[in-house]
Structure 1
Amino acid sequence: MGAQLRVYKRRIKSVTATKKITKAMEMIAASRIVKAQRQVAASTPYASELTRAVTAVATGSNTQHPLTTEAEQPVRAAVLLVTSDRGLAGGYSSNAIKAAEKLTERLKAEGKEVVPYIVGRKGVAYYSFRHRTIKDSWTGFTDKPSYADAKAVAAPLVEAVLTDTAEGGVDELHIVFTEFVSMLTQAPVENRLLPLSLEATEETEKKGEVLPLYDFEPSAEDVLDALLPRYVESRIYNALLQSAASEHAARRRAMKSATDNAEELIKSLTRLANQARQAEITQEISEIVGGSSALADATAGSD
């Protein structure tokens, strides 16, 4: 019984140490969510208004531009997948990867070649383990992205869009990331960034809003050339911030669940340890009583 009791005590000590770690990680994630939410709230209006402005420019001109013109027969599409650098965040990365897999299957069914771009070590590891070709990847900033990171990600994507498909360019640009809905809900979404979808224009018209009119100087094409990288950068930056907030929220929820499970396990092990201790005490008492009885019998026999 003594050996069993020592085993329970060691396990309780080990689980208690694990609980301290998960509790600390939960508190760190909770503190980072607030800042991430503020960054999302600050960047979303800019990205939305820039998209609205680009849409207005696109609808107000007849210029053929990669930003707004769809290829008659698109042959290649770039997919940017945003995952995390670290684990212990529940199904955050795996859900985004599943959404990217569905998008990839749909694009391939449409006869398009998919060119993957990956943000985050989890996505890179997933593709590398399956020996899939990755066009480009970025790691090291998923939990705290900056606008410079978004520019670094956007640069090769814009270049690929502007390059002719015969020379290895792409006709479409899609992004898969995790949208931060609330502290309890984070949903993986996929959006087509380029060519710009005019669905926003249709929704605006349905609401009765009127897009602003623009005069283009020196030309509409030059304006769209200047707006193209800004549009892609702002949308990617907002997606990175949304994903960062979602990662922190998912990690907080996962660590809280781990902490709660550790507490339950400690309670269960404590009960088992108490039972083992009681059994050991009962056995010792029985041995003492048995020895006392044997001694009394021996003394009575000698008399």
Structure 2
Amino acid sequence: MAVSLREYRARIKSTESMKKITRAMELIAASRIIKAQQRAQSAAPYARELTRAVSAVATYSNVDHPLTTEPEDPKRAAILVITSDRGLAGAYSSSVLKEAERLRTRLEDEGKEVDTYISGRKGEAYFRFRNRPIVEAWTGHSDQPNFEVAEAIGHSLIGAFINDEPEARTIQDHGQDREVPPGVDEVHVVFTQFRSMLVQEPRDIRLLPLEVVEGEEMPESDEVLPLYEFEPSPEEVLDGLLPKYVQSRIFFALLQAAASELAARQKAMKSATDNADELIKKYTRTANQARQAGITQEISEIVGGVNALADAQAGSE
């Protein structure tokens, strides 16, 4: 009885310690998610207007740009998978990885080879554990992304997209050998879109080539489409806008993923805290039952001993 009680008390103590940790992580995620939401909402207008500007230039300039030209027979695609750096966020990373696997299967069914780019340690660990190749990975920023990371990711993806080499090659970069991956015909991004505190939806978008609306759109009754003039030239305008477009879309996806990660972590930690409460109640109830059973057994042994002593005395008389 004493050993059993000691075990239950140790379990209660360890569960209470775990509850303090999960509660603290829940509060930290709750305090940071507001800022993450604000950052994502603040970046949305810029990303939306930049997308409209790039689409307008590409549509009305009638210029064939490498980032807007649809390949006739695409053979290779790149996928950027945005996951988290840390765990304890429920099914957040696994949902993104499942969506990436579905996209990969679809692209392979279309006869395309797939190159994988990763953002976040969880995605990197997932692919390396399965011995699957990763072209490039970026880590250490999942819950607080910055534009420098988006710029680096965009530079690598644009470089792979405009690269015409079908095979990987090694080049000299500042006196060191650097392997350049083969060129790709499409670039896709898989991330988690933040819809609300309760709903975070994994989705994939095709980032490159940019989808261009053919022809001129007819204005609505209360809308007049602007007339575009390009200075110095449509080609140079696109050269300046398209890298910014790619980087802003990646940065917006990173911000959406960060808000989704914090929301998923808060929900997971709240569930863990509630489960710890239930577990403490269960262990406390079981410990009380064991203690009561032990007391009852001790009383029964005392009463039995007293009765046996009384019977022995009565027999001697």
Q: TM-score, normalised by structure 2?
A: 0.90
CA pair 212-126 structure 1, distance change in 2 beyond 3 A: farther
Instruction: Tell me how large the CA RMSD over aligned residues is.
Output: 2.0
Aligned equivalents of 1:37, 1:125: Cα separation in 2 = 27
CA pair 158-55 structure 1, distance change in 2 beyond 3 A: same
CA pair 254-207 structure 1, distance change in 2 beyond 3 A: farther
Aligned equivalents of 1:134, 1:93: Cα separation in 2 = 17
CA pair 83-211 structure 1, distance change in 2 beyond 3 A: farther
Q: CA deviation at 1:259?
A: 0.9
Partner of 2:308: 294
CA contact (8 A) 1:81 1:100 kept: yes
CA contact (8 A) 2:67 2:162 kept: no
CA contact (8 A) 2:59 2:214 kept: no
Amino acid at match of 1:32: R
Alignment of 1:1-303 (within 5 A): 1-166=1-166, 168-198=182-212, 209=223, 211-303=225-317
Aligned equivalents of 2:81, 2:216: Cα separation in 1 = 28
Aligned equivalents of 1:208, 1:59: Cα separation in 2 = 22
Amino acid at match of 1:29: A
Q: CA deviation at 1:297?
A: 2.7
Tell me how many residue pairs correspond in the alignment. 303
Aligned equivalents of 1:290, 1:166: Cα separation in 2 = 90
1:60 aligns to what SS in structure 2?
Answer: helix
Aligned equivalents of 1:281, 1:5: Cα separation in 2 = 12
Aligned equivalents of 2:44, 2:198: Cα separation in 1 = 20
Q: CA deviation at 1:212?
A: 3.4
2:133 aligns to what SS in structure 1?
Answer: coil
Note the alpha carbon deviations across 1:230-270, whole angstroms, 9 max, x for none. Answer: 00110000000000000001111111111111111111111
The structure with more helix, counted as a fraction of residues? 1
Q: CA deviation at 1:218?
A: 1.6
2:205 aligns to what SS in structure 1?
Answer: strand
CA contact (8 A) 2:59 2:213 kept: no
Percent identical pairs in the alignment equals 63
Ranges in structure 2 where 5+ consecutive residues have no aligned partner: 168-181
Amino acid at match of 1:90: G
Amino acid at match of 1:122: K
Amino acid at match of 2:210: L
CA pair 82-202 structure 1, distance change in 2 beyond 3 A: farther
CA contact (8 A) 1:56 1:212 kept: no
CA pair 202-254 structure 1, distance change in 2 beyond 3 A: farther
Aligned equivalents of 1:9, 1:302: Cα separation in 2 = 47
Note the alpha carbon deviations across 1:45-86, whole angstroms, 9 max, x for none. Answer: 100110000000011111111222111111221111100111
Amino acid at match of 2:296: T
CA contact (8 A) 1:5 1:276 kept: yes
CA contact (8 A) 2:60 2:216 kept: no
CA pair 104-279 structure 1, distance change in 2 beyond 3 A: same
Note the alpha carbon deviations across 1:181-200, whole angstroms, 9 max, x for none. Answer: 10000000100111112369
2:61 aligns to what SS in structure 1?
Answer: coil
CA pair 81-200 structure 1, distance change in 2 beyond 3 A: farther
Amino acid at match of 1:273: A
CA contact (8 A) 2:55 2:213 kept: no
CA contact (8 A) 1:60 1:213 kept: no
Structure 1 stretch displaced more, 197-206 or 19-28: 197-206
CA pair 203-87 structure 1, distance change in 2 beyond 3 A: farther
Structure 1 stretch displaced more, 96-105 or 194-203: 194-203
CA contact (8 A) 1:76 1:165 kept: no
CA pair 245-135 structure 1, distance change in 2 beyond 3 A: same
